[in-house]
Amino acid sequence: MIFSIKNKVATLALLTFLTSCSSDDDSQMASGNGEMELYFDNSVNGDNLILGASTYTNSNNETLKINRFNYIVSNFVLIKEDGTEVVYDKESSYFIISEEAQLNTINLENIPAGKYTKIRFGLGVDQQRYLQGETAQQSFWDLADANNMTWTWSTGYRFINFEGTFTAPTLTGEKTFQVHQGSNTATDNYREITVTLPNTARVRTNESPSVHFIADANKILDGNSKIKLSEAMNLAGTSASVMGGEKLMTIAGNTTSMFVVDHVHAGGAEH
């Protein structure tokens, strides 16, 4: 009996010691900065997005072959489990995701250690940044221009560049389409999006989580509101384009549901 009690006391002391050490280690690692990777996996209504090869039929009964799907994400805010918000450095917070250029990964650096449960970010370039002028953002402007994400400086950035060909029941043969979302003097089509992580992203000095986003290109035309490309044809009847007006505002609304987080890897990239 005495031996059994001694064993129990020793076991309890060991557990207390290990718990204390674990708590101390976690407290120590919770200080300092770490990194977080964001990986954007482009899809179409649950299927992998394959440029120029596969076709995708939406609920408008229009069949699309996508040749380009690029977009700008920006202004990242990481939200901890206690609601604390960590605003990523604005000067470094503009990125291009491009399926054709295989730009899919963003590395956020100098992130305060902590447990993160939500991420808020922008789709496009906010007016505050744009109004700082071309010189202030020359490096990103050049990158955007190289990836077909600009008009002229006076008309600004394309937030989304979505292009390809399509067929529709009301049309004969295959037509081209272009959807270019951006802001203009009449409307501000920059949108903020908040996603909830399915499991905690724990940032430590020695632990860099990878957050796996899925972006659904189908939401652009076939989201909460429906846009028919067949109703955006040019006068010659050869192509459809959406670059302004009410349709573009509708698309801007649709894009707020374009992103979800599929999973979070605790220790890095395993997409």
Extract the tokens encoding 71: 């977009």
Q: Given this model, what pLDDT does residue 152 score?
A: 86
Predicted local distance difference test score (pLDDT) of residue 13: 47
Residue 5 lies in a domain: yes
Q: Which domain holds residue 10?
A: 1-30
pLDDT of res. 111: 97
**Whether residue 118 sits in one domain with residue 51:** yes
> Are 26 and 79 part of one and the same domain?
no
Give yes or no: residues 108 and 171 share one domain.
yes
Please give the pLDDT value at position 245.
86
Do residues 95 and 160 both lie within one domain?
Answer: yes
DSSP codes joined into one string, 173-213: S-EEEEEEE---SS----EEEEEEEEEEEEEBTTB--EEEE
Residues 12 and 47 both lie in one domain:
no
What CA–CA distance (Å, rounded) separates 249 from 181? 9
Measure the CA–CA gap between 142 and 140, rounded to whole angstroms. 5
**Residue 195 covered by a domain:** yes
Q: What angle do CA 227, 64, 246 make, to 5 degrees?
A: 20
pLDDT digits (tens, 9 = 90+) for 195-243: 999 999 999 999 999 999 999 999 999 999 999 999 999 988 999 999 9
Specify the pLDDT at position 186.
76
Query: How many domains is the chain partitioned into structurally?
Result: 2
Q: Do 143 and 209 reside in the same domain of the chain?
A: yes
In a domain, 64, yes or no: yes
Does one domain contain both 22 and 144?
no
Q: What is the pLDDT of residue 12?
A: 47
Quickly count: other Cβ atoms within 10 Å of residue 27's Cβ. Answer: 9
The residues of the chain scoring below 70 in pLDDT are 1-30, 267-271
Residue 24, domain member (yes or no): yes
Question: What pLDDT score does 153 carry?
Answer: 83
My answer on whether 138 and 5 are in the same domain is no
Residues 136 and 12 in one domain: no
Please give the distance of CA 109 from its chain centroid, rounded to a whole number. Answer: 17
For residues 20 and 99, membership in a common domain is answered with no
CA 256: distance to chain centroid? 10
Residue 271 lies in a domain: no
Burial of 243 from C-beta contacts in 10 A (0-12 / 13-18 / 19+): middle
Answer whether residue 270 is part of any domain. Answer: no
Same domain as 45, residue 21: no
